[in-house]
Structure 1
Amino acid sequence: MGHNISLWFDAWHPDDRLIDAYGFRAVYDSCLSLNACVSIVLHEGSWNWPPARSNDLVAIQVRLSDVKIGEVDVAVWKFKSGVYFCGETWHFLRPKFPVVPWWKVVWHPMVIPQHAFILWLVFRQATATKEKILKGKGMHTTLCKLGLATVVYHIWRLRNELCFGNSPFIEEALVARIKWDVRTKVLTRKFKRSPLDRQHSALWML
């Protein structure tokens, strides 16, 4: 028992990992190796720690009654079910942040993925004024979101071309690229067009 469990680095104790809870001073005071396994403090199914030489070691040993000693070493995941699931592991490990108000603009289903990524980078430094375009549905709202993402992407692409290449800047070509991407994407979806939608359609030649 305990031959496969690290005494100091595995979370077998009620206080979690002993090295985190009590530090290296507890290792020194215990006169046990940093690489010791739990088996070194077990004897015939009972706890057999060296005499406690510090308050930390006393605290460690006081809570040993909460630890069930089994016949074999078993890894248990710290989930509600105690069973390993990929999805739960991802949510357990990943950092959690509050939901941003502009996520529907960036990850809108009509936005071209590579455009969405560049727009996401821009919004990471966005100001509150951009939140004005976040509400609403329908074709005109979709065009606003799609158009914004496409414009940002092509401006970013043009900047890279000018910085790292010899491509000349042609305004008409830039506008044509933007219109082509927006038009191609919008034509894959059907909308019920309001008078406002028809005005936007005319601007984009839809």
Structure 2
Amino acid sequence: MNEKYLLETFGHRIVHDSGFPLRSKLKVAIKNGEWNWPPARSDALVVIQSQLFEVELGDTDLAIWNAKHGQYTCADAWDKLREVHPAVGWWELVWFPSSIPKHSFFMWLVFQNALVTKERMCGWGYTGCTLCLLCRGAQENREHFFVRCRFSSRIWTNIMFECSIPNAPLDWDAIEAWGLKVLRGRGVRATLGRLCLGSTVYNIWKQRNALLHNSSPKTEESLMDCIRWEVRSRLVANGQFKDLNHTLVFRWKLHSSF
């Protein structure tokens, strides 16, 4: 008998009424190969016992997977284990066929607002400087980084210009709605835009970490070159650049890959 099912259906009172300990096995109600229930002391126990008396104890036990067609599949197991939440719109900007895995994971963190920014660290007792390391103009948080920061906004605007995508928003809260409208679909240009979004956000944070840990930060141009290289390599690897117009092909230096 499924303990969780019984408790959810009948409540904890059923344990007291049965006279059996909570962790009891079904065998405590069997004696000499027959059912041996104590007298029922509640309507719930009457229901349980009446159903069990229909079970022949001589029957062979059979394990049945409680899912479609009674057969085990990894997909069914995952559905049993996971918590189901409403779908979010931004998943199309994070997970798509040509996405770069490390960028997708990082974008997932960003959309979840799970980055360890200085603003967030203040809630953990951090008492150091909370200014943005890239521009020193505002408190470090997700909304400032992506992309109100002067440094970030220049990178973002230039990369979107190279994608021939004008009027890209400079506010993270607007990026989701804008991205789902402008970067939606399986077209090459939409894929280019989503790859650039992921690479830009990832590399801006990487630049921040280099400054934080006294590493070697990149110049704006070298950072943009890194973004170009990541995106170009992905397009070439998947052979997805041939449908781009000539301007984008030459701007992204894809002509040498024909």
TM-score, reference length from structure 1: 0.75
Does 1:184 find its partner at 2:233?
Answer: yes
Shift of residue 151, structure 1, vs aligned partner: 0.6
Structure 1 gap segments, 5+ residues each: 1-9
Shift of residue 144, structure 1, vs aligned partner: 0.8
The residue number in structure 1 matching 2:5 is 17
The residue number in structure 1 matching 2:250 is 202
SS in 2 for 1:110: coil
Shift of residue 50, structure 1, vs aligned partner: 0.6
Q: Would you say how many aligned residue pairs link Structure 1 and Structure 2?
A: 192
SS in 1 for 2:248: helix
- Aligned partner of 1:145: which letter? R
Is the 2:92–2:184 contact (alpha carbons within 8 Å) kept by the matching residues of 1? no
Shift of residue 122, structure 1, vs aligned partner: 2.5
- Output the CA distance in 2 between the equivalents of 1:190 and 1:166: 35
The Cα offsets for residues 37-89 of structure 1, whole Å up to 9 and x where unpaired, read as 21221234443211122233233223334545344443322123333333321
- Output the CA distance in 1 between the equivalents of 2:56 and 2:81: 27
- Output the CA distance in 1 between the equivalents of 2:28 and 2:61: 14
The residue number in structure 1 matching 2:207 is 158
SS in 2 for 1:144: helix
The residue number in structure 1 matching 2:105 is 117
Is the 1:162–1:169 contact (alpha carbons within 8 Å) kept by the matching residues of 2? no
Does 1:49 find its partner at 2:37?
Answer: yes
Is the 2:18–2:40 contact (alpha carbons within 8 Å) kept by the matching residues of 1? yes
Does 1:64 find its partner at 2:52?
Answer: yes
TM-score, reference length from structure 2: 0.62
Match of 1:40 among 28, 31, 37: 28
The Cα offsets for residues 107-128 of structure 1, whole Å up to 9 and x where unpaired, read as 2333221112212223345643
Moved more, 149-158 or 87-96: 87-96
Is the 1:179–1:204 contact (alpha carbons within 8 Å) kept by the matching residues of 2? yes
The Cα offsets for residues 86-115 of structure 1, whole Å up to 9 and x where unpaired, read as 332122222334444443432233322111
Q: Please give the root-mean-square deviation of Cα atoms over the aligned residues, in Å.
A: 2.8
Match of 1:170 among 219, 227, 233: 219
Structure 2 gap segments, 5+ residues each: 114-172
Does 1:103 find its partner at 2:91?
Answer: yes
Structure 1 residues 79 and 140, CA gap change in structure 2 (3 angstroms) = closer
How high is the sequence identity, in percent, across the aligned residues?
40
SS in 2 for 1:187: helix
